Amino acid sequence: MTSLSRRSLLRGSVAAAGLFGLAACRSAAESGDGAAASASPRRGGTLSLATTIDFTPSLLFAQSANTLVQRLVFNTLTRYDDQLRPQPELATSWQLAADGLSITFKLRDDVLFHDGRKFTADDVIFAVKNLQNPVRSAQLRSTAATVTEFRKNGDHELTLQLAHPVSNLFDLFEFMIITDSATVEDAVAGKQLIGTGPFRYGKRTPGSSITFARNEKYWNPGRPYLDGVEIRVIPQADSLVSSLKTGQSHLSYHVPGKDLAGLKGSGQFQLRPYDTGSGAYYIGVNVTAEHVQDKRVRQAISWAVDRERLVQQALGGYGLPSAAPWPKSSPAYTDANATRYRHDPAKARELLKEAGVSGITLPFAHSNTPDGTAIAQILQHDLKQVGIETELQPTDSPTMQKQLISQTMPALWTLSHGFAQLHPATLAVSAYPFNEAKNSSHFSSPAYTDIVQRAWKRPDSDSAEARALYQQVTDTLLDEEFVIDLAIGGQIEVAGSKVHGATLNKFNYLNLDDAYLTA
């Protein structure tokens, strides 16, 4: 990420531009795809995608474990390139006021919803107000709520007035899908999904599959190439891998880490890590629970875990061991933060003794996915070595998401979080585990809130003053350890040789505008 270029864009305007040449967010290290480079896009075919987690309609407006559906059906106003520079999508250009208190968008005038209705500025107004609604549980609600006034300048231009500057405004526009206001309640109920995106919602069989058909009136000329998409829900890891090997599935982002090396070595698949840092693995701590109220116990847990082993054994080597949430692309990243806690069981035992804690057993929730189970078992082993027994509680992904939102987690849990790949303030004002106003750990601190609010309300994201605030945020996180970060990961794309052009955005929304299948 180059924050300088991002800042300049926040201050400037962008002319209308074609969308077809945007850089994807892939790792340069493993993105070499000779077949893709030489092949010509081919129209037709249905892409089959395998996932371990079913789509949860009620979490449509939240960042959940399965966000593959959003960008198939819906568009966003803007989308980031791999340097976090906003690019046009439904917005063709924008102008942010010099004082950071308003932004004016010009919108495409050739966009139709799937039901034939024309997209206008009213749909943007609805999208912002929809995220302001607490019932949506949208993590970027704080940023949406800074919009206090809407001024339409015709059907395809509008100005958003802000209560104060916010440094993560374009994170909101990357996250905010544009939905049809008349059917939004049907969308969260799973009855229908109507957007402006490349595919029309087809049929959903809960726990099994969901299908989509090409939007023949899509505004992006000639796109999509695919006739349709089928998302197949395959919870068992072995069955998912088998479906890829037999060609029943073309693509997956949920292959367990232990299976990645075998697939990479087969020559049958292309593996592409997304180096956005969109996923970070962590242990969450409910600071109201017995024993872990003492931050020395939380720090002991952090010293007890072997992050290097976790990355190698559970993530297949795809990840960066780190005690801090930030990927290397973040302006908040430093080597010192990432290595603040190393594997040191003796140090952990010393802290537990100092806290007067011995012979304890803690409940420990984890996702019942293959990766989630593997990570929990490794952590259980590490904690046992320093005298902390854990009772593993495997839980399905939607239930864990609801527990995060409702702050009903047990003493310990492990999951992955996002948002650190964006503006650093977004993590602390929007992500459930870190939110300074209301987080899953029940942690609160006036000092933490003050630092986060000052970082968020800045008009810039990369000045020396901003970076100093990020360091203060990180220092608080590493001292309090209500979120114990373990490793920075991301999505690993496993694609059969026929698949080309699929990409994920910064929120892991799947973009198949340019995707195609070769014969």
CATH number of the domain residue 305 falls in: 3.10.105.10
Do 143 and 172 lie in one domain? The reply is yes
Do 414 and 288 lie in one domain? The reply is yes
Q: Is the pLDDT higher at 444 or at 4? A: 444
Residue 459 included in any domain: yes
In the prediction, which pLDDT does 65 show?
Answer: 66
The whole-angstrom separation of Cα 166 and Cα 141 is: 13
Quick check: 425 and 450 in contact, CB under 8 A? Answer: no
Quick check: 104 and 158 in contact, CB under 8 A? Answer: yes
Cα angle 248, 249, 253; round to 5: 160
Residue 475 included in any domain: yes
Q: Where are the beta strands (DSSP E) in 108-184?
A: 147-152, 157-162
For residue 295, what is the DSSP state? H
Residue 470 included in any domain: yes
Do 292 and 372 lie in one domain? The reply is yes
Which of 162, 188, 214 represents a domain boundary (last residue)? 188
* Closest by Cα among 212, 198, 201, 209 to 248: 209
Write the pLDDT tens digit of every residue in 300-359: 999 999 999 999 999 989 899 999 999 988 889 999 999 999 999 999 999 999 999 999
Which of 135, 165, 188 represents a domain boundary (last residue)? 188
What is residue 497's three-state secondary structure?
coil
CATH of the domain at 141: 3.90.76.10
The whole-angstrom separation of Cα 16 and Cα 19 is: 9
In the prediction, which pLDDT does 59 show?
Answer: 87
DSSP-derived pairing of the beta strands 251-252 and 78-80: unpaired
Write the pLDDT tens digit of every residue in 39-94: 689 999 999 999 988 998 988 998 776 789 999 999 999 999 877 889 999 999 99
In the prediction, which pLDDT does 171 show?
Answer: 93
- The structural domain count of the chain equals 3
Q: Is the pLDDT higher at 462 or at 282? A: 282
Residue 253 included in any domain: yes
Cβ neighbours of residue 186 closer than 8 Å, sequence gap 6 or more:
192
Q: Which two tokens stand for residue 436?
A: 């300074």
Residue 205 included in any domain: yes
Write the pLDDT tens digit of every residue in 469-486: 999 999 999 999 999 999
Do 485 and 505 lie in one domain? The reply is no
In the prediction, which pLDDT does 17 show?
Answer: 32
pLDDT band at 7 (very low <50, low <70, confident <90, very high): very low
In the prediction, which pLDDT does 30 show?
Answer: 44
Residue 168 included in any domain: yes
In the prediction, which pLDDT does 19 show?
Answer: 30
Cα angle 515, 239, 371; round to 5: 85
In the prediction, which pLDDT does 62 show?
Answer: 82
Q: What does the DSSP assignment read for 168-196?
A: THHHHHHH-B---GGGHHHHHTTS----S
Task: Please give the backbone phi and psi of residue 478, each rounded to the nearest 5 degrees, phi first.
Answer: -75, -25
pLDDT band at 397 (very low <50, low <70, confident <90, very high): confident
Residue 501 has pLDDT above 90, yes or no: yes
Residue 414 included in any domain: yes
Any bridge partners for residue 229, and if so which?
Answer: 47, 212
- Token look-up 């997956």 returns 252
Q: Is the pLDDT higher at 349 or at 369? A: 349
Do 320 and 367 lie in one domain? The reply is yes
Task: Please give the backbone phi and psi of residue 187, each rounded to the nearest 5 degrees, phi first.
Answer: -65, -50
The whole-angstrom separation of Cα 397 and Cα 407 is: 15
Determine what percent of the chain is predicted with pLDDT higher than 90: 72
Residue 368 has pLDDT above 80, yes or no: yes
Do 118 and 105 lie in one domain? The reply is yes
Do 463 and 437 lie in one domain? The reply is yes
Residue 297 has pLDDT above 90, yes or no: yes
pLDDT band at 1 (very low <50, low <70, confident <90, very high): very low
pLDDT band at 276 (very low <50, low <70, confident <90, very high): low
pLDDT band at 398 (very low <50, low <70, confident <90, very high): confident
For residue 160, what is the DSSP state? E
Q: What share of the chain is helix, strand, coil (3-state, %, to 5)?
A: 30, 25, 45
Which of 188, 214, 236 represents a domain boundary (last residue)? 188
Write the pLDDT tens digit of every residue in 212-245: 999 999 999 999 999 999 999 998 989 999 999 9
Do 321 and 418 lie in one domain? The reply is yes
Do 249 and 137 lie in one domain? The reply is no
Q: Which residue blocks in 202-293 are alpha helix, DSSP H?
A: 237-245, 257-266
Quick check: 377 and 392 in contact, CB under 8 A? Answer: yes
Structural domain including 235 reads 197-276+491-517
CATH of the domain at 245: 3.40.190.10
In the prediction, which pLDDT does 44 show?
Answer: 97
Q: Looking at this protein, which amino acid is placed at residue 31?
A: S
Do 176 and 256 lie in one domain? The reply is no
Quick check: 358 and 349 in contact, CB under 8 A? Answer: no
Mean pLDDT (whole number) for 272-291? 89
Residue 159 included in any domain: yes
Do 363 and 480 lie in one domain? The reply is yes
Quick check: 226 and 237 in contact, CB under 8 A? Answer: no
Do 432 and 375 lie in one domain? The reply is yes
Q: Which two tokens stand for residue 346?
A: 């003796």
Question: In Å, what is the CA distance from 294 to each residue of 289, 290, 387, 475?
Answer: 10, 9, 16, 17
Residue 125 has pLDDT above 60, yes or no: yes
Q: Which two tokens stand for residue 24?
A: 């994807």
Mean pLDDT (whole number) for 119-139? 94
In the prediction, which pLDDT does 358 show?
Answer: 92
